[in-house]
Amino acid sequence: MKLNTEFRSYAQALYQQRQSELVVSRENRLRSILIEPADVDWRVNQITNAIYESHRELLCARVDSYLAAYRVNGLVLDKRDEQEILDELRNLNSTELDCGLRSRGLEDQWQPNADRAIPNVPQYLMDRFEMALNQASAKLRSGSVEISNDYNHNHATQESRNTLVINGDNHGPIQQGGSGNIQTS
């Protein structure tokens, strides 16, 4: 990844702040679901929805933190950068799935059971987490394209401002400082 230590720390700080907010929000939501009188199937559905929504927001927060760091640093993501971020998202997906399945209210839902509203909770949650990963990946790709377009637009604007106009005769070569200069006569 092209980000230096300072900008990686910046991305991490943004992410940790959002992560803390999401964890508190998820725990409050799960607590409120568990204290409501309801049948088990309704609770399992509500719990898995809360876990999924929180996880989706967590993955998107990670993507947003990296995109913000690249923007502030003035860098464009290349395929290698995107792949590193996607690998990190996959690891986060796996870790959070294990945590989600161990949430209170899902203790008895590990084995498939055809009598339940969601017969196979682990597979159901895994599929939803995969959907969240796909949404975060799409957000990363669109953010990367947006950063690249902004970068190209800013550089095209800068190049067009560096114009040298000579009124009269020119009796020798002209050298204008900078990279990417084109000389025509």
Mean pLDDT of the chain: 86
pLDDT tens for each residue of 107-163: 777 788 888 878 888 999 999 999 999 999 999 999 999 998 988 877 655 454 556
CA distance linking residue 83 with residue 33, whole number of Å: 37
* C-beta separation of 86 from 140 below 8 A: yes
pTM of the full structure: 0.77
* C-beta separation of 111 from 99 below 8 A: no
Kindly tell me the sign of the dihedral angle through the C-alpha atoms of 106, 111, 116, 119: positive
Question: So where are the chain's domains?
Answer: 5-152
pLDDT interval class at 81 (50, 70, 90) = very high
DSSP string, 82-105: HHHHHHHHHHHHHHHHHHHHTSTT
